[in-house]
Structure 1
Amino acid sequence: MGPTDGTAGTGPGEKPAAAGLPPGDFGVVLATLRARHGWSVREFARRANVSEGQVCNLESGLRNPTPAVATACDAVLGTGGRLAELADSVRRGVPPDGIVEPGPLVAGYERVLGELKGIGRSTGPRFVTASLKSVIRTLKDAGERSGGEQDAGVWLLASEFAEYTGWMAQEAGNTAEALRWTNCAVRWGARGGDETVAAYALVRKAHIAQYRGDTGAALGWAAQAERHPAATSAIRAHAARRAAQSHARRGDPGACRDALERFGGHAAEISDGRPPHWGPRIGDGGPHLLEASCMLGLRRFGPAADLFADAYGPVTATDSNSRARFAVRRATALAGAGRLDDACHLVSATLPVIRLIDSATVRADLARFVEEARPLKAGPGLLGVIDASAALAAGRALAAG
């Protein structure tokens, strides 16, 4: 989805609408296409000459579009009348008292989830949250109406959507909402016959506690996840990752090393090569980046900086969130090792991405960079980078309450 010029409905450097509409009802399609363009609700509303409230109501499924609004959305997105045609159809595609056929619904929304995850990794939660919630409403409705054994697939997909919505809530800085959606994922997963989400939910709770600075709670949740009878090897590896980083933040190198060894053992048991049902791929970022993050937590800045340098190449080809996260951690290690010029150069190049993705967890890492850089002797140029980083990190902290 690189910049493209000369496409209907786009300006220079903007992303065009896809040749075909993504699956889903009007609200889901609208939110997905808006996210593809990288437009906020406010920006899209301005372009379509409608109110922000109208856009939110359409994307969330609270309102159906009028012909005039659907036509305006068509014009802005360059969809050639297809959105207007979609608006004329029955919103959920089934009679009010009808029975849903789950198969096509699940297949279509599985593709939507994959696309929204890709957008979320590159642009942050504000571009995908409305669409995620709209799909969840559709799936819940379909799950209640579907008949036979296939309804389990609807609830499992609803569970996956809820889990990712919880992650986006955490990225937006709302941990209470993150926990609420995670608990929904557990309930709907069980309704679909999958207990593994209950194990992965413990990993998510460990992650939330870790970013709150409560390492004791993080270790407790991670230990429960590793012991959970429904945990897969991938889930146990995720749990060991959280334990290793939490032990590092506590300054316990021995326990950190034990957790890293458990991580390696669990990861080695994953042999089918398929994406895990819950959470990111274990290999994302590579084991060297995990070890580097642990060295950073242990304040072993020199070794951490070297490890980040060795492992950083593959990360630069992944999503914006990962690039920003590990760039900031690498800069923190460089600052701790006394290489403030290199650290500030790296952060300066990363600040625009951090502003775009608006991630609370990345901002938390940025705050750690400021903690290490602030006490060091810096000239006006470097001090400007540190001040800008502090303002950005504090801005998210204030917004999150």
Structure 2
Amino acid sequence: MAIPEPFGPRLRAMRVARGLSLSEFARRTFYSKGHVSRIETGVARPSVEFAQRCDAELAADGALAALVRTTTASPAAVAEDDNDDGMWIMTMSPDGSSFVPLGRRELLMGGAMLLSGLAVTRPAAAAGEVHLGHHTAMLASAREIGQTAHPQAVLPIVVGQAQALRLLAEHSQGADAKAVAALSSRTAEFAGWMAQEAGDERMAMWWTQRAVRAAEAAGDTHTAAYALVRQALITMYNRDHQRTIALAKQAQSVPGTPSRILGLAAQREAQGHALAGDHTECMRALDRARAHLEAAEDGAGGPVIGTSHVPDPVAAATGWCLYDLGKPAAAAAALDREVVRINPGSARARARFGVRQALAHAAAGDVARACALAGEMLGHAALVNSATIRTDLNRLAATLRRSPRHPDVVALGPSLAAALHPGEPGSHLA
């Protein structure tokens, strides 16, 4: 990709206008003088993170990041087909390393036996005798397992339950049918999250759409609104700030949406504004998120929507956003306060925010602290094998490469490389 021609001259003009020498500006942004010089002269290409740091230091309100931001296309919408059941039916990959969808063609060629292992052949109980307590407990257990296990290990459990609930719904009537459909929707939504954690965005979108359709069958617009928040999470990790903001706003516009979902949607909107470098709108959205979440009533009759493992999700999201706004020192301080409050047993949540905490310290120039934090988090990251967490691990590795001779970076290198490239012996950070 060609270097955006306006960036270097624009950066130099803004730096000079603020009366900052090249050395002073490099010191403030925690980049080397040579690196800044190469970018200003067009020899090197700026990263989005570099542009965000410059925006924050020069109070440019995202103008510099907009010059270099490349929006990764979000996964294409999966065709809605009432008869397309491909992803309800799952099998192991040939090498046994992952759980993958089995298409209709493969099913017709001999996969029917797999379906019998997942499906409920016929509910024995009459509609009035349907009990959802067991399935509700199963989903709650799967969510807990998901905090300490690879997503590939959780998907078979959740997909099997989703299939069972779907078939159960077909044989239920009245209030029972709505209750089954509602739980089916929640199960499909969680399957979408585990698919995203496994790195399969197409499957994540497919399951999210299934969650919406099951919710509609139950007359539930709440889950449909939350599904928009889930879609916004996918676009956020693709660094598509425009779609992230649009989806989050759409979720907030659904009539009758409960306060908790409104709060989660506002929080996602804030993360989109942070990617865009818009500090003012980000903080406004975070304020709305806190107000909605504080007004939310404790959920009853089903699993909590959204994370239940982060004590103060808005405070943690604030630290997350401050990093994307190019303020790593402030982000590090915020995350220092919040990560210690996350139960160490919640490995996925702990690793998600802990890795970003380490990244913030590295970007703020505290390499020793960053390496110490990363060392603590790599075990959690390996345990949950999250594609989204690896996104920040890659950024952390790139940031630490700016200090290749630092003894802590050298010591951390093999462990960090192993976390980034599991199963590849001999990997190095360099």
TM-score (norm. length: structure 2): 0.67
Give the Cα separation in 2 of the matches to 1:266 and 1:231.
11
Q: Which residue of 2 aligns with 1:268?
A: 294
Give the Cα separation in 1 of the matches to 2:160 and 2:316.
35
Q: Which residue of 1 aligns with 2:332?
A: 305
Distance 1:376 1:156, change over 3 A: same
Distance 1:241 1:394, change over 3 A: farther
Contact 1:296 1:304 (8 Å CA) reproduced: yes
Q: Which residue of 1 aligns with 2:136?
A: 110
* Root mean square deviation of aligned Cα: 3.0
Q: Which residue of 1 aligns with 2:341?
A: 314
Residues 245-280 of structure 1: per-residue CA shift (max 9 Å, x gap): 121122211111111111122122214465775322
1:241 and 2:267 equivalent?
yes
Give the Cα separation in 1 of the matches to 2:279 and 2:116.
52
Residues 156-203 of structure 1: per-residue CA shift (max 9 Å, x gap): 111111010001000101111011001111111111121111111110
Give the Cα separation in 2 of the matches to 1:297 and 1:176.
26
Contact 1:237 1:282 (8 Å CA) reproduced: no
Q: Secondary structure at the match of 1:149?
A: helix
1:172 and 2:198 equivalent?
yes
Give the Cα separation in 2 of the matches to 1:243 and 1:371.
27
Q: Which residue of 2 aligns with 1:228?
A: 254
Q: Which residue of 1 aligns with 2:277?
A: 251
Distance 1:286 1:92, change over 3 A: closer
Give the Cα separation in 2 of the matches to 1:268 and 1:376.
42
Contact 2:130 2:176 (8 Å CA) reproduced: no
Aligned residue among 196, 216, 236 for 2:222: 196
Give the Cα separation in 1 of the matches to 2:297 and 2:181.
27
Give the Cα separation in 2 of the matches to 1:154 and 1:273.
18
Contact 1:325 1:362 (8 Å CA) reproduced: yes
Q: Which residue of 1 aligns with 2:171?
A: 145
1:216 and 2:253 equivalent?
no
Q: Which residue of 2 aligns with 1:291?
A: 318
Aligned residue among 120, 131, 134 for 2:160: 134
1:357 and 2:384 equivalent?
yes
Supply the AA of the counterpart residue of 1:191. Answer: A
More off after superposition, 112-121 vs 316-325: 316-325
Distance 1:364 1:223, change over 3 A: same
TM-score (norm. length: structure 1): 0.71
Distance 1:102 1:337, change over 3 A: farther
Q: Percent identity?
A: 31
Deviation at 1:380, TM superposition (A): 5.3
Give the Cα separation in 2 of the matches to 1:239 and 1:59.
41
| Structure 2: tracts of 5 or more residues without a match | 1-95, 98-110, 424-430
Contact 2:248 2:266 (8 Å CA) reproduced: yes
Q: Secondary structure at the match of 1:121?
A: coil
Q: Secondary structure at the match of 1:146?
A: coil
Give the Cα separation in 1 of the matches to 2:369 and 2:382.
21
More off after superposition, 363-372 vs 153-162: 363-372
Distance 1:179 1:206, change over 3 A: same
Give the Cα separation in 2 of the matches to 1:276 and 1:110.
7
More off after superposition, 272-281 vs 169-178: 272-281
Supply the AA of the counterpart residue of 1:240. Answer: A
Residues 343-364 of structure 1: per-residue CA shift (max 9 Å, x gap): 1121122212212211111111
Give the Cα separation in 1 of the matches to 2:113 and 2:413.
38
Contact 1:175 1:208 (8 Å CA) reproduced: yes
Give the Cα separation in 2 of the matches to 1:102 and 1:375.
65
1:371 and 2:371 equivalent?
no
Contact 1:170 1:360 (8 Å CA) reproduced: yes
Residues 116-174 of structure 1: per-residue CA shift (max 9 Å, x gap): 11001111312221111111221111111223431111111111110100010001011
Q: Which residue of 2 aligns with 1:181?
A: 207
Residues 43-89 of structure 1: per-residue CA shift (max 9 Å, x gap): xxxxxxxxxxxxxx99965449xxxxxxxxxxxxxxxxxxxxxxxxx
Give the Cα separation in 2 of the matches to 1:272 and 1:144.
31
Give the Cα separation in 2 of the matches to 1:346 and 1:261.
29
Contact 1:101 1:146 (8 Å CA) reproduced: yes
Q: Secondary structure at the match of 1:137?
A: helix
Q: Which residue of 1 aligns with 2:409?
A: 382
Give the Cα separation in 1 of the matches to 2:209 and 2:287.
30
Distance 1:225 1:63, change over 3 A: closer
Distance 1:318 1:245, change over 3 A: farther
Q: Secondary structure at the match of 1:338?
A: coil
For 1:335-350, list aligned pairs within 5 A. Answer: 335-350=362-377
Distance 1:214 1:247, change over 3 A: same
Give the Cα separation in 2 of the matches to 1:336 and 1:212.
21
| Structure 1: tracts of 5 or more residues without a match | 1-40, 43-56, 65-90, 397-401
Q: Secondary structure at the match of 2:340?
A: helix
Aligned length: 317
Q: Which residue of 2 aligns with 1:156?
A: 182
Structure with greater helix percent: 1
